Structure 1
């Protein structure tokens, strides 16, 4: 399959647009996938809400947690097979516990020690033994002494490890199982709906402006007049914001209300004032672009053809 044909196929899978529309979009945008998606959206052909990302890397998200603090890491491998390897899993578990205890950043973590061995040296040894590149990609922490820290792992591979990891910090007056269970439900919502921020004030200004530009172009291409465009744009932009903020999203456990309303209702039910302070979601491979190779071309190059 030629590179251009492969890109047509990829764009079609990402947008649901027809083959000819995909060909035109790619041709007009120098075969750049992201620009082609924007082009199709402006033409009203693609309804994709967000820019594409190619989540091809493997590995695990790992969570370590105590009562008031939690740490989440993403540790990548080249294949899912290695992500199921016991040595890899044990390494991930050790690293998460050390990070939680010491509040390391990536650099200081790699220079910390496990049983008198530097972590970066243990990483090199593990790579040599398993035969795949392994990378500690990112880590983050949440801390809350005035409430609860809850977590959720989706596609769990081992205890506190899987393909998607979520942490949430919620202020409350009484830490109990009921609050923890609700907090975990919010984590499940985040794993499913991938909000970009907690609320509108936390949402990236550049993201909002870009969406506004795309929506405006789409309405122009539909033949709408300028005075109508401004009115329609208000409603459409409001939906974009609610769809991408946790508090504005429809609650997956009850689509008739928003997450914000679900928090308020639950607080009234248990007679507590709950406040979601922050959340972190890691998905394995998110945002990593892995180079695709054509199998036939690779065989030819190896054979010297």
Structure 2
């Protein structure tokens, strides 16, 4: 058997873009012959999968799952919306969400975790890329848990049970009856899907974002020509409004437009006969924050056929 050196593995990795362990295995399987190893990777779909990884994956699915007092949310991206309808892809997202629920709770740990089939998540993902023919990636993972109470899930725009474009988890700490927590959790989750809070409490908001808002408010107030002390009050008023509008507990409940979320939770606890504490939440919206390429699959098909492509409307939850 040929002596496989680290330099050979590095060389093959640079040429193929495949993973280090895959390159080492390819060289072992082919007696250290570089061209044969490259062909081996291609036949396994590994080199092709890596080439696809340079393409933007901003579609896909968000998966949510709950078991008792624990819940998990996962976003798995693909290049096109067509893949979200693929049964193989849906099963993968569903199984990865279960992995996050019962074990690994961050992206790196999940990739090395075992799937029900016995292969790792990373290996299954590589196989999916090769067989489905699109770049795919596990983008983010969150898990919530309470000591006593409930974690409630909600999916907006569901493609299948527990899978959709917006996934929400709500963590409620309480000794209130399960049905009361389920109802409150569902109402809060629907609100979160529609209202898009940026933090649980006002003090949790990103201070860098607050600074940007303050700069904008200062510039606008300065155009009024009012005295400096009045301008300062105008700026602080704008920031106070921003904090209230973007912190979940101080937002107005979308179902009535007048009750603060903190009051909604307090009333639910009073009605249930036990205090309820909203401890945390998760809101994953598919592709949120990903810079999409100007030319995607649908646009390429439209261009090739000569049919103009209409711009896609943003998904907007309706409660």
Normalised-by-shorter TM-score class: 0.7 to 0.9
1:131 to 105, 130, 133: 133
Q: How far, CA to CA, are the matches of 2:139 and 2:57 in structure 1?
A: 14
CA contact (8 A) 2:265 2:276 kept: yes
Aligned pair count? 245
- TM-aligned CA deviation for residue 56 of structure 1: 8.4
Gaps of 5+ in 2: 1-55, 305-319
Larger-Rg structure: 2
Q: Any idea what SS the aligned residue of 2:152 has?
A: strand
Gaps of 5+ in 1: 1-54, 301-305
- Higher normalized contact order (CA 8 Å, seq sep 6+, divided by chain length): 1
Q: How far, CA to CA, are the matches of 2:176 and 2:265 in structure 1?
A: 15
CA contact (8 A) 2:176 2:275 kept: no
1:180 to 173, 179, 182: 182
2:218 to 213, 216, 238: 216
TM score, norm. by length of structure 2: 0.72
CA contact (8 A) 2:71 2:151 kept: yes
Q: How far, CA to CA, are the matches of 2:136 and 2:108 in structure 1?
A: 16
Aligned to 1:58: 59
- TM-aligned CA deviation for residue 112 of structure 1: 2.1
- RMSD over equivalenced CA pairs, Å: 2.2
Relative to its length, the structure with more strand (as a share) is 1
Q: How far, CA to CA, are the matches of 2:185 and 2:118 in structure 1?
A: 38
CA contact (8 A) 1:148 1:175 kept: no
Alignment of 1:1-305 (within 5 A): 57-114=58-115, 115-293=117-295
- TM-aligned CA deviation for residue 97 of structure 1: 1.2
- TM-aligned CA deviation for residue 104 of structure 1: 4.0
Q: How far, CA to CA, are the matches of 2:160 and 2:133 in structure 1?
A: 22
CA distances 1:17-46 after superposition (whole Å, capped 9, x unpaired): xxxxxxxxxxxxxxxxxxxxxxxxxxxxxx
Q: How far, CA to CA, are the matches of 2:124 and 2:57 in structure 1?
A: 25
Q: Tell me: CA distance 1:174–1:268, structure 2 relative to 1, closer, same or farther (3 Å).
A: closer
Q: Tell me: CA distance 1:175–1:264, structure 2 relative to 1, closer, same or farther (3 Å).
A: same
Q: How far, CA to CA, are the matches of 1:170 and 1:138 in structure 2?
A: 22
Q: How far, CA to CA, are the matches of 2:263 and 2:118 in structure 1?
A: 51
After TM superposition, where is structure 1 displaced by more than 3 Å over at least 4 residues in a row? 293-296
TM score, norm. by length of structure 1: 0.76
